[in-house]
Chain A
Amino acid sequence: MQMSKLLNFKIDKLKASIEGKEILKGIDLNIKGGEVHAIMGPNGTGKSTLASTLMGHPKFEVTSGEITLNGEDVLEMEVSERSRAGMFLAMQYPSEIPGVTNADFLRSAINAHRGEGNEISLIKFIRLMEKQMAALEMDPQFMHRYLNEGFSGGEKKRNEILQMMMMEPSLAILDEIDSGLDIDALKIVAAGVNAMRSEDRSFLIITHYQRLLNYVKPDFVHVMMQGRIVKSGGPELSERLEAEGYDWVKEELGIVDETVGIEKEEEFKIPMNTVAPKY
């Protein structure tokens, strides 16, 4: 909820690993107030790990490098402090939390930002939530549904954007927010993002496809491979990727396998040569 025209978000030589395996191998990125950055890349190149690491997911360990938000050390902040400092992550797979309504959750979040003694009034909150839900063409009943429980993939994504609109972050990280959305939903979500674009708010959009970027025009496009940003450019870069795919980037840079070899969901395989227990 903090707004600052001087927003300056810096990622410096960031390395992170999971269970001892390095995924992010030195990320450098600088995002300034009002800018929209897109990170593109094939699956398994570390894009989502970057999003999760920026927000402080405990599964990922930062082994070296720095993240600063307006000069403040983000790595020193607890997850909830990062949020209160103005960071927001729209997740690819948000959790389902039974028994906690969407409204109760969001009001708790907003009040956590506003601080004790400065809580939002219930009526003001309800009006705000109704307004933003209408903008996203969400059924009003979602207000009283349990958080993400039984939501379809598209409904979850819309709900993430709803939270972003309610919380008004200064840096919004959108992790594959376009996956699972049909074209109409994509347009609505994009309109929500565009409505929030301003000089004092920045976006980091992580996406596999160009199509979201047709509706939300980025200022900068970065290609991620092997846990690094291997190429950066303007909107024309994403257009070329859409038209030609990633192979030319790999060829240009001499990359054979672009993945970091872990990000893909590990599939459970039934062991074939086991013997059934006797009893």
Chain B
Amino acid sequence: MTIQTAFPVDRSTVDALSKERREPEWMAALRREAIELAEQLKLPKLEKTRIDRWSVNDYGSYKSLPAVETVAQLPEGASQLLSEDVHRHLLVQHNSSVTYRSLPAELAAKGVIFTDLATALVEHEQLVRSYFMKAVEPGENQLTALHTAIWNGGVFLYVPKNVQVEVPLHALFFTDDLAATFAPHILIVADANSSVTYVDHYADTLASGNLVHNGIVEVFAKQGAHVQFASVHDFGPSVTDLSYRRAIVEADGRIDWVVGEMNMGETMSDTSSILKGNGSSSLAKVICVGTGDQKLNITTRAVHFGKHSTSDMITRAVLRDSATAIINGITKIEKGATFANGEQTERVLMLSPSARGDANPMLLIDEDEVTAGHAASVGQVNEEQVHYMMTRGITREQATKLIIYGFLAPIVSEIPIASLEEQLKAAVERKLGQ
């Protein structure tokens, strides 16, 4: 008897899947190796969070769905999230499969690739092979290994040198089937001096039960490239959301992250910027709202290798009921990254005495000639501010609401697609209005 009976994914199915999807042999091999690794590796050790007590084993199995012609043919729960203005540059993953994708011809003509990862494996095999699981390694922990073995759907976005993509490319990841594995992999490569904005949205209509979303985002910003990445995670209580996002930024490149963690279930996210090149920079803005007895572990990280690299990380969390959030900010400056500058701020607003919030700023600095700073606070709604608003006739409830929204507003307003910004606002309202 081994303990492997409890292991969430079966080795033989992984192999069978690769064959069915006619993946290149190297990918099949990678999946095989990864499932073996996953069996040996442990879950990641998170700061003050027992992730092993979460529901992290409900992966379901790969279930293929046919593509649809129009957004209207998607399930209503998905189509209603997609405003008309994003239909032309959109990719939708429904459960295990990407079922809808579009890209304006003028962008395709410039060499921009925006497709699902499975298609990219066929059409742009070498390109995918050069980058897939290179920012995040399969062997980091059980979750990254499992993801490598079972990933499905996903996005491949490639922007050639010197191409500026003006319109934000949009993706929706939607699940409504507990039995279907949901593990999208997003791979973004912005070649030298290009720029692109990518925005995605995660949602479900699961009524009950439990499903794990094990997702990885890899971004490669080559020399002088600028990637703006915005993401709203809006899962209901059935989904355990485990997300790694990592960017590798070359000289003078830039990554901007804007993330809204609006899930109702347990959430682990780790958003990292690896500032590899000289003069590279990153900005990460993350908001989360914890409700009920939700547990959240939210990490932002910047690792400086390049000289004169700069990073800024801003996280804001609002916690109510008996929600728990561990907010980690890690600025790591490696030896040799002279004149690097890393800043971070974590602020947690507690709305209930039984909520728990921890802000853990960490500066790990191995170089002398750098500047780095951090600020962290955990507090309640400021009574003076409430009073001031009340002296103008605004009720206590309304004043509190305005202050909380104001706390999150500077990040919400950064979402580069108006319709998604509205959805993020709606999610905030839904989570705070109960």
Contacts and interface: CB of A to CB of B under 8 A. Distances in A.
A112 to B, nearest CB: 4
B384 A112 contact: no
Interface string A79-93: 110111000110100
B407 A79 contact: no
A109 interface: yes
Contact of A99 (B384, B387, B393, B408): B408
A99 B407 contact: yes
B315 to A, nearest CB: 15
A94 B387 CA distance: 10
Contacts of A163: 392
B352 interface: no
A100 interface: yes
Contact of A105 (B402, B407, B409): B402
B389 interface: yes
Nearest to A112: B393
A149 to B, nearest CB: 10
Contacts of B405: 99-100
A159 B392 CA distance: 13
Nearest to B392: A109
Contact of B385 (A95, A108, A167): A95
Contacts of A167: 392-393
B354 interface: no
A72 interface: no
Contact of A79 (B391, B398, B410): B391
Contacts of B395: 80, 112
Given A58-B383, A83-B391, A97 B406 contact: yes
B388 interface: yes
Nearest to B403: A97
Contacts of B120: none
Contacts of B387: 57-58, 79, 95
A100 B391 contact: no
A113 interface: yes
**Interface range on chain B: under 10, 10 to 19, 20 to 34, or 35 or more?**
20 to 34
B206 interface: no
Given A108-B402, A112-B398, A146-B406, A97 B388 contact: yes
Nearest to A149: B406
B390 interface: yes
A189 interface: no
Nearest to B394: A112
A82 B406 CA distance: 25
Contacts of A80: 390-396, 399
A7 B410 CA distance: 43
A97 B392 contact: no
Contacts of B396: 78, 80
Interface of A: 55-58, 78-80, 82-84, 88-89, 91, 94-95, 97-100, 104-106, 108-109, 112-113, 146, 163, 167
Given A94-B388, A112-B398, A167-B392, 17 more contacts: A55-B391, A57-B387, A79-B387, A80-B390, A80-B392, A80-B395, A80-B399, A82-B391, A83-B391, A84-B393, A95-B382, A95-B388, A97-B389, A97-B402, A100-B403, A100-B409, A105-B402
- 9 tightest CB-CB pairs across the interface, nearest first? A99-B406, A83-B393, A109-B392, A100-B406, A79-B390, A99-B409, A95-B388, A112-B393, A80-B390
14 contacts: A55-B391, A58-B387, A79-B391, A83-B392, A91-B391, A95-B387, A97-B402, A98-B407, A98-B410, A99-B406, A100-B403, A100-B405, A108-B398, A112-B398
